[in-house]
Chain A
């Protein structure tokens, strides 16, 4: 009796908490609203199944609880019921998987007009690199890292000379333009995570990873690290400023390029040895 009642209350409590509690995701600021809708579909399907299972359980506990003289039924198997349940479950699972895979296809297909922006993680700070006028990022690698080349941009790659380097500052992005975020780490794993953008990806030393998105809302969005990277992990912060194109251009004009950072020892853009 009391057990059935408590199970009932547990379902009710969970549903009410879900519906009225103020804790929900932070408003989205990227094109990935599809991810949010897939998540909502999943919430509905799984929520209904959970309520159905627990309520059925509560009913059984109430209806078939031991009473003097009660005897259980004897039914080892029921082919039809088992097949029926298997098919219904498979359909429900497919209904969640199919939209999921379709959205994933979009997620992994970077539009050709996306501009590349590089994020570099190190214990425990973020740096950024934007392609200069040529629209291309120069090659990079940890062996080139030095005091005046903190991101390890290759001095031998002419594409790198006009790259814009942002160390310790915020990343600025123009609104409405797709960006391919190219991710690099110089030491351990990190993960570039801006909750409002919904997307995130690990940064792995030794390789380059990426994801893409389009900012749809101007404002200041906090960057967090989502992959354990040592004691400073929780305090590795920065901001992304999404701006109108004009403001963005003004900001971009004030930034230093790789070549200017190297001025004391001018870069010889020579052929590689």
Chain B
């Protein structure tokens, strides 16, 4: 069976697209500002996402101050509180998480991991970033217009989103929000097409789809989903903009606002909800699938063991991606849609739990009989499993239609989605940064600061969101700047204050993390090309950090999957993907 020819790559078919020439900028602007190098664009995307994410973080402090210590901070009026939750929610979900996973990690890792020199359309890729930046600036501008940003909640449900009872509804706030989202989607589509075509067409010789690291599978599937889901949000935004500016009635029925009959009529607010959640549910997985992929790789590398059930993991990603398009109305069980939808959507939602659970099992089984190095990336991966398991399991409450009825729109929901799509993906982002920072900069992040950052973030976030479920179970609704009601038999004020203190502490730890990022740029220990002794291609570049074009003269040739760790009989505990090395007896049929 072994290769008869003496060249080890003799049996490998050529790549689909040959090595293409790259644009080589000659000016300072071309190299450092309007760069077309995916690695550079990745850093621009991530830097912008982290910057706006800090705004989201500060807003969460303000909200927690209000909830924990109501009545003390006079400037947090109900109007301001609603503006804070809206901007916080939107920033975190779209402008931080989506942007950093796809624009940041996608750009950095896809070309390196599939052995390409760059994305296939570098110019469009550059445009993608600049449009994203514009979207962020428009979003930020809404803080400074008269009336302030919109306070419609991140779900922007009409009619209230465009009426005067909601902050920003009759001002510029809602308009800027919608315009910013439209820009974001345009920018994302440019990047997204790029990631998809690069994965499908620009893989190097020998890099079959079933040899790609799960990171690429996760980002790839999430991008395909985003390309299908964002258009629903796009049309919803355009239609709402028309309702607001041109007086159309896509989402607006006849209504009487504060005694005054408005000239709307005939539209349906529920149609907006369907469009929003047709985007919004896949969005959860657009954030989660890249995290699933990345965490699989972190676990495998740092446990020195192949990921358990690789093919099952790939299929689980693809199946979750597909199923997540037919569960959206589980966000609408009490929206007033036809109640019989509940049967269908509860069933699909609980079915999706099965492939999701399989992923959790496979992560844990990868650790079984591993050689677990408790490095920072591994610690964050473990924290992710705990947090994600917790948040995923509470999803079974909210997905099971009848159990959702008492819980929906309470703080239980807020606790659930923060665990599953807030904290869990963020833990992966941290793990990934500790993991790939050495490749991006050539230096290791400081371990002591990292340990403090890890423990405060992991335990702190759990302390914020685990008790919050019980605030919701008591019955406290979400989006209440203060709660005082007769149904509360045991006051929740003390618990709320505790949660708020934990939130401030966790926030402070993020400042330490940012300091570490800057400090280690100069003072970090030199990393060398492959400090974690990992198999996948990005660690095999001739230069660290990789230079423009990634691979020197020749593209790498791939001989194996990305998970040949601790192979029996091999001289070392890993065999790089581009190492022709020994054939492996117990190989998976890839």
Q: Does A270 contact B (CB under 8 A)?
A: no
Contacts of B361 on A, CB cut-off 8 Å?
85
Neighbouring B residues of A186 by C-beta, 8 Å:
255-256
Knowing A57-B367, A89-B353, say if A3 contacts B379 (CB, 8 Å): yes
**B531 interface residue (CB < 8 Å to A):** no
Do B306 and A74 touch across chains, with their CB atoms under 8 A apart? Answer: yes
- For A65, give the chain B residue with the smallest CB separation: B372
Contacts of A237 in B (CB 8 A): 485
Partner of B369, one of A53, A64, A225: A64
- From A25, A49, A78, B474 is in contact (CB under 8 Å) with A25
Q: How far is the CA of A235 from the CA of B389 in the complex (A)?
A: 36
With A97-B346, A228-B82, A231-B82 as contacts: A202 and B402 at CB distance below 8 Å:
no
Nearest B residue to A83 via CB reads B312
Determine if B385 and A53 form an interchain contact, defined as CB atoms under 8 angstroms apart: yes
Partner of A89, one of B347, B357, B462: B357
Contacts of B393 in A (CB 8 A): 46, 49-50
| Contact call A123/B397, Cβ cutoff below 8 A | no
With A23-B495, A61-B374, A76-B586 as contacts: A200 and B405 at CB distance below 8 Å: yes
Name the residue of chain B whose CB is nearest to the CB of A195.
B475
Instruction: Name the CB-closest residue of B to A39.
Output: B403
Asked if B253 and A206 sit within 8 Å, CB to CB, the answer is yes
CB of A145 within 8 A of CB of B256, answer yes
Complexed CA–CA distance, A196 and B588 (Å): 56
Residue of B nearest to A62 (CB): B372
Over the window 337-369 of chain B, the binary record of Cβ atoms lying under 8 Å from chain A Cβ atoms (1 yes, 0 no) is 001101100110011011001101100110111
A54 within 8 A of B: yes
Interface membership of B566, Cβ < 8 A: yes
A207–B270 touching, CB < 8 Å: yes
Q: Are B370 and A73 in contact (CB under 8 A)?
A: yes
Measured CA separation A25–B586 after assembly (Å)? 54
Bound CA span A61–B382, Å: 9
Q: Report how far A40 CA is from B48 CA in the complex, Å.
A: 44
Interface size on A, residues (CB 8 A): 102
Q: CB-CB < 8 A to B261: which residues of A?
A: 142-143, 145
Q: Which of A17, A77, A89, A141 contacts B310 (CB 8 A)?
A: A77
Which residues of chain B come closer than 8 Å to A74, judged between CB atoms? 305-306, 565-568, 586
| Chain B residues, CB < 8 A from A263 | none
Stretch at the interface among B54-62, B278-286, B464-472: B464-472
Is the C-beta of B131 less than 8 angstroms from some C-beta in chain A?
no
B155 closest partner in A (C-beta): A228
- What residues of chain B lie closer than 8 Å to A226, measured between beta carbons? 408-410, 477
Q: B458-498, CB under 8 A of A: which get 1 and which 0?
A: 01001000110011011101011111011111101001000
How far does the alpha carbon of A187 sit from the alpha carbon of B357 in the complex, in Å? 42
Known A65-B374, A101-B343: A93·B354 in contact at CB below 8 Å = yes
Please tell me which one of the listed residues A10, A71, A194, A205 contacts residue B255 in the complex, with CB atoms under 8 A apart. A205
| CB closest chain-A residue, reference B258 | A123
* B268 interfacial by beta-carbon distance below 8 Å: yes
| CB of A224 closer than 8 Å to a CB of B | yes
On whether the beta carbons of B165 and A123 are closer than 8 Å, the reply is: yes
Q: A189 to B350, alpha carbons, bound, how many Å?
A: 28
Whether, in the assembled complex, B15 has its beta carbon less than 8 Å from a beta carbon of chain A, the answer is no
| Contact indicator A204/B269 (Cβ below 8 Å) | yes
Determine if A107 is an interface residue (Cβ-Cβ < 8 Å).
yes
Say yes or no: is B329 at the interface (Cβ < 8 Å to chain A). Answer: no
A54 touches B386 (CB 8 A): yes
A221 to B500: give the CA distance in the assembly, Å.
29
Nearest opposing residue in chain B for A108, CB measure: B339
Chain A 136-160, CB-CB to B under 8 Å as 1, else 0, gives 0000011101000000100000000
Q: A50 to B466: give the CA distance in the assembly, Å.
A: 13
0/1 string, B547-590, CB within 8 A of A gives 1: 00000000000000001011110000100000000000011100
Question: Does B528 sit at the interface, judged by CB under 8 A?
Answer: no
Q: Does B336 contact A (CB under 8 A)?
A: yes
Give a binary string over B146-188; 1 marks a CB under 8 Å from any A CB, 0 the rest: 0000011100010110010111010000000000000000000
Given contacts A187-B163, A199-B405, contact A86 B354 (CB under 8 A): yes
Question: How far, in whole Å, are A152 and B306 apart by their CA atoms in the complex?
Answer: 67
Judging by beta carbons under 8 Å apart, are A42 and B163 in contact? no
B241 touches A (CB below 8 Å) = no
Q: How far is the CB of B457 from chain A (nearest CB, A)?
A: 13
The answer for the CA separation of A60 and B374 in the assembled complex, in Å, is 12
Interface mask (B57-95 → A, CB under 8 Å = 1, otherwise 0): 000000000000000000000110010000000000000
How far apart are the CA atoms of A85 and B360 in the complex, in Å?
11
Query: In the complex the two chains form, is A100's CB within 8 Å of B403's CB?
Result: yes
A159 to B254, CA, bound (A): 23
CB distance from A38 to the nearest CB of B (A): 5
Report which of B165, B253, B374, B382 forms a contact with A231, defined as CB distance below 8 A: B165
* Residue among A42, A70, A202 making CB contact with B397, cutoff 8 Å: A42
A-B contact pairs, 28 of them (CB 8 A): A23-B492, A24-B490, A38-B402, A57-B382, A64-B372, A72-B371, A73-B370, A74-B568, A76-B306, A76-B310, A76-B586, A77-B311, A77-B312, A86-B354, A123-B165, A186-B256, A187-B163, A188-B255, A188-B257, A191-B334, A205-B159, A207-B270, A229-B160, A229-B165, A230-B163, A232-B78, A233-B82, A237-B485
The interface of chain B, by Cβ under 8 A from chain A, is: 78-79, 82, 151-153, 157, 159-160, 163, 165-167, 169, 253-258, 261, 267-270, 303-306, 308-312, 334-336, 339-340, 342-343, 346-347, 350-351, 353-354, 357-358, 360-361, 364-365, 367-374, 379, 382, 385-386, 389-390, 393-394, 396-397, 400-403, 405-410, 459, 462, 466-467, 470-471, 473-475, 477, 479-483, 485-490, 492, 495, 563, 565-568, 573, 586-588
Closest 9 CB pairs of A and B: A206-B253, A230-B165, A195-B475, A209-B336, A73-B369, A188-B160, A108-B339, A72-B566, A46-B393
